[in-house]
């Protein structure tokens, strides 16, 4: 139980284009989903928190117009990196929290984004 | 943003040795969590601790929630090659936000 998937696992895009990353909870309903960013050899930094059907809450310093988050259902959240630049290259990881999995965050396998 | 003080940053040990790592914070947490991350993967929850003083085991892993609610440790007994990876502590604030430590990188020498 508590399986979270992400798609794609890797994506390479050209500077200026937009990329969408999907996060799905496969065997539970995710009342809350989280998006993190992780640079090489660094810890996870929370970007935003989204509750199903509500607007996402962004952490300080994260541009909401650049990182568009949609949480339209209890099993799917999407992160769209708009007008991507090389500095947006990173490992993006989502997590989901809900019931009946005890309320803890379970993480997806991550998406490696490379902007050329 | 705020981060926990996790130590050591990295460890090089022989297979079969016991491992100990810890996290400290200036803030009180309601919950302490320990995750393991393999290269190119997302973190996997190992142990969750909910009460001050709580000691919980998961196989060869044992973790404790410090009495002051500002620290936690994780022990791994009789390490094996598949224990290699990055271990993150995480603390959950009363506002439900989770803060991660910087990680402990465990290496096992051949």
pLDDT for A53:
82
Chain A contact set for B41 (CB, 8 A): 109-110
Residue B62's pLDDT is: 98
Interchain contact, A44 vs B40, CB within 8 Å: no
Is B42–A108 a contact, with Cβ atoms under 8 angstroms apart?
Answer: yes
Contact B103 A43 (CB under 8 A): yes
Cis peptide before B9 (omega within 30 of 0): no
Q: State the pLDDT confidence band at A2, using cuts at 50, 70 and 90.
A: confident
Res B104: pLDDT: 97
Most confident of A27-41, B52-66, B86-100: B52-66
Gap between the Cα atoms of A9 and A17, Å rounded: 18
Local structure of A110: helix, strand or coil: coil
- Residue pLDDT, tens place only, A9-47: 999 999 999 999 999 999 888 888 999 999 988 899 999
| Phi and psi, residue B20, nearest 5° | -140, 135
Confidence band of B110 (pLDDT split at 50, 70, 90): confident
Chain A contact set for B48 (CB, 8 A): 102, 104
Q: What residues pair up with B45 in beta bridges, in sequence order? A: B35
d(CA B52, nearest CA chain A) in Å: 18
Q: How confident is the model at residue B2 (pLDDT cuts 50, 70, 90)?
A: low
Q: Which of A7, A26, A35, A44 to mutate to test the interface with B (most CBs of B within 10 A)?
A: A44
Residue A60: its pLDDT value, please? Answer: 93
pLDDT digits over A96-109, tens only? 988 655 578 899 99
Q: Residues B9-37: what's their mean pLDDT?
A: 95
Residue A41 has what pLDDT? 86
pLDDT bracket for residue A1 (50, 70, 90): low
pLDDT at B59 over 70: yes
* Nearest-neighbour CA in chain A from B57: distance (Å): 17
Q: How far is CA A27 from CA A32, A57, B48, in A?
A: 14, 25, 20
Q: Which residues pair with A87 in a beta bridge?
A: none
Q: What is the mean pLDDT of chain B?
A: 93
- For B18-39, what is the mean pLDDT? 94
Structure-token pair, residue B60: 């060869």
Q: Tens digits of per-residue pLDDT, B7-17?
A: 999 999 999 99
pLDDT, average across residues B47-57: 95
Mean pLDDT of chain A: 92
| B19: pLDDT strictly greater than 90 | yes
């Amino acid at each position: 139980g508590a399986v979270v998937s992400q798609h794609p696992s890797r994506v390479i895009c050209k500077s200026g284009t937009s990329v969408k990353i999907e996060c799905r909870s496969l065997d539970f309903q995710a009342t809350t989903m989280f998006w993190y960013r992780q640079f090489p050899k660094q810890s996870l930094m929370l970007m935003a928190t989204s509750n199903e059907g509500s607007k996402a809450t962004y952490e300080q310093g994260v541009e909401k117009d650049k990182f568009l988050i949609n949480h339209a259902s209890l099993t799917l959240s999407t992160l769209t990196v708009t007008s991507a630049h090389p500095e947006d290259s990173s490992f993006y990881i989502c997590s989901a929290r809900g019931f009946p999995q005890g309320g803890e965050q379970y993480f997806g396998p991550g998406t490696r984004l490379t902007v050329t | 943003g705020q981060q926990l003080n996790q130590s050591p940053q990295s460890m090089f040990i022989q297979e079969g040795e016991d491992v100990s790592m810890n996290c400290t914070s200036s803030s009180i947490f309601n919950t302490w969590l320990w995750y393991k991350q393999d290269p190119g993967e997302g973190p996997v929850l190992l142990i969750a601790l909910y009460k001050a003083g709580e000691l919980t085991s998961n196989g060869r892993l044992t973790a404790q929630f410090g009495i002051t609610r500002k620290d936690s440790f994780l022990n791994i007994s009789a390490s094996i090659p598949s224990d290699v990876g990055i271990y993150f502590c995480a603390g959950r604030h009363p506002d439900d936000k989770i803060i991660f430590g910087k990680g402990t990188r465990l290496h096992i020498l051949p």
